[in-house]
Structure 1
Amino acid sequence: MTTVMVVDDHPMWRDGVSRDLTGAGFEVVATAGTVAEAAARAAATQPQVVLMDMHLPDGNGAAATAAVLEVSGEAKILVLSASSEREDVLEAVKAGASGYLVKSASAAELLDAVRATADGQAVFTPGLAGLVLGEYRRMSTVPDAKGGADLPSLTERETEVLRFVAKGLSAKQIGTRLGVSHRTVENHVQSSLRKLHLSNRVELARYAMEHGLD
C-alpha cells in the first residue's frame, strides 16, 4: 500500500483529497497545513508520496518541498495546486518536485497521477511538461548536449524512449506510440538507467530535460 501525506492549508480540500485517496486504496499517513507541519510530519511518517500545495501560510510549496526532502529523502513530491503560473511550476520542480498537477484535474486523474508518481514517473498537467522542458533546455550549460550528442552509449530506441519519459508518458503510453509492449519500454528504461548510472524514472526525466531532449 502506497503511503501518502497531503499538504494543503484548506482543511475541507485536504480532508476531501484524503478521503479520495483512502477510498482508492492509498494509506494517508499524515496531513499538514504549513511548511513547518509538513517537515515535521514527513520526518515522523516517511511517506512515499507527498501531495503538495504551492501556497501555504508560512511559505510556498517549493520551500515545503525542499524541507520535506531534507527529512524524508525517499519521498516523491507531486504538487497539486490551483496555480499553473510558470514561476510556480519551475520553482517547484527546481526544489525537487517529481510532477505538477493543477487542481482542475478530476479525481481519477489525481489518483492516476499519485500511482504514477509512486512508480517513479514524472507527472505533469498537459502543457506544463513542455514548459519545464523548455526551461531546462534554456538553462543547460552542457556544451555538447545539443541534439543528444553526449549520449553515445544509448541506442536510438533508448534515446527515443527517453524523450517520451521526459514528457511524462507512462510505459503503456510510450509503447502505444512506438508500437511495442510496455514491458519492452520498461526494458529500455532500465537499460538507460544502468548506462547513465541513475536510480529511477524521475532522475531519468530530469537528465533528459537537462540535456535538451524533447
Structure 2
Amino acid sequence: MSHADRPRAGHRAGGGPAVDGSAAQGPAPARVVVVDDHPLWREALSRDLDQAGFVVVGTAGSVAQALRVVAATRPGLVVLDLTLPDGSGVEVIRALLGPAAVADGFTGAVLVVSASGEQADVLAAVRAGASGYVVTSARPEELVDAVRRTAAAAAVFSAGLAALVLGEMSRAARDAATPSTPRLTPREIEVLRLVAKGLSARDAAQRLGVSHRTVQNHVHNVLGKLQLRNRVELARFAVREGYDDAS
C-alpha cells in the first residue's frame, strides 16, 4: 500500500481520543491483529483501535509474520492490507480461512483495509473469505466503525463495493448447482434474510424484536444445519438461494 495514498489514522484535531471506547459492544473487547507493511500506519490504526476499546494483541508487516502472530495470539479479527512485501494479503486470508488453512484454531474474521478499490482486488479478497473490504480513503472513525461492525459479524464494505460483491455472487450462483437445503425454521429463515442484507447480529435482533443472544444462537444453528464455517459463507449461501431478494 502506498504511504502517500493513505490518511494518518492516528491524527485528530485537538489531540483528543479517536473514538469513545464506551461504545464498544459485547461482553469482552474484541482481540485484533493489524497487518500492514507500513509501521507508522500500523501504529496509528492500532492506537485508534486501542482508544476505541479493542485489544490489539499483535501487529505484522508481512505474510509470514502475520501467520505467526495469528497462530500465537488467536485473535477474533484480523485487519489486513492486501499489499505485503512477501506476497498478497489474499494469501493470508486463504491460509487462515481456506480449505487448506494453516492457522489451526482460527475462527475469526478478516477485514481488508486497502488503498485499492479495484474490482479484481475486492472480489479476490471476498472469494478467499474476507468478511469486509474498506478503502483507506475512509475517515479514521469510519475505519474504527468498520472494525467494530466486522467484530459483530457484519459484512462491511465501502460505499459502492457492496453492490459489486453481491452482483458477482449472484452471477456465480446462476452457474452453480443448487444443493439440497436442510429444513430451516421460519425464524431461522428470517435471520438468514437479514444476514443476506448485511445486518449485524445486533441490528437483526432489533429488527426482529429479540435479544442479541437469540440471533447469535439462530446463526449458530443455521451454520450447523448448512454445514457452513462462518457468516461470510452464510451470506454467500443466502444470496445464492435468493434470500437477499426477500422483503
**What's the TM-score once normalised by structure 1's chain length?**
0.81
Alpha carbons 1:129, 1:167 under 8 Å: kept = no
Q: How many Å separate the matches in 2 of 1:155 and 1:68? A: 31
Following the alignment from structure 1 to structure 2, what is the Cα–Cα distance between the partners of residues 21 and 191? 31
| Residues in 2 aligned to 1:136 and 1:13: alpha-carbon distance in whole angstroms | 32
Show the counterpart of 1:181: 209
Amino acid at match of 1:107: P
Corresponding residue for 1:81? 114
Question: Over the residues paired in the alignment, what is the CA RMSD in angstroms?
Answer: 2.8
Task: Indicate how the Cα distance of structure 1 residues 41 and 200 shifts in structure 2: closer, same or farther if over 3 A, else same.
Answer: closer
**Residues 140-178 of structure 1, C-alpha deviations (whole Å, 9 max, x = no match):** 244458xxxx658346675454343123222454567x5
Match of 1:208 among 226, 238, 241: 238
2:54 corresponds in structure 1 to: 26
- 1:194 deviates by 5.3
Matched residues, number = 208
Secondary structure of the residue aligned to 2:156 is coil
Partners of 1:133 and 1:212 within 8 A in 2? no
| Aligned ranges 1:42-121 → 2 under 5 Å | 42-69=70-97, 70-72=102-104, 73-121=106-154
Name the CA shift for 1:208/1:12 in 2 (closer, same or farther; >3 Å): same
Equivalent residues of 1:54, 1:79 under 8 A apart: yes
Corresponding letter in the other structure for 1:136: M
Counterpart of 2:163 in structure 1: which amino acid? G
Q: Helix, strand or coil: the match of 2:116?
A: coil
Aligned partners of 1:143 and 1:3: how far apart in 2?
38
Change (3 A) 1:162 1:199: same
Letter in 2 for 1:204: L
Q: Which amino acid aligns with 1:96?
A: G
Checking the alignment, whether the CA contact within 8 Å between 1:38 and 1:68 is kept in structure 2 is no
Q: CA deviation at 1:48?
A: 1.3
Q: CA deviation at 1:67?
A: 2.8
- Structure 1 residues 199, 68: closer, same or farther in 2, change over 3 A? closer
Alignment gaps of 5+ in structure 2: 1-28
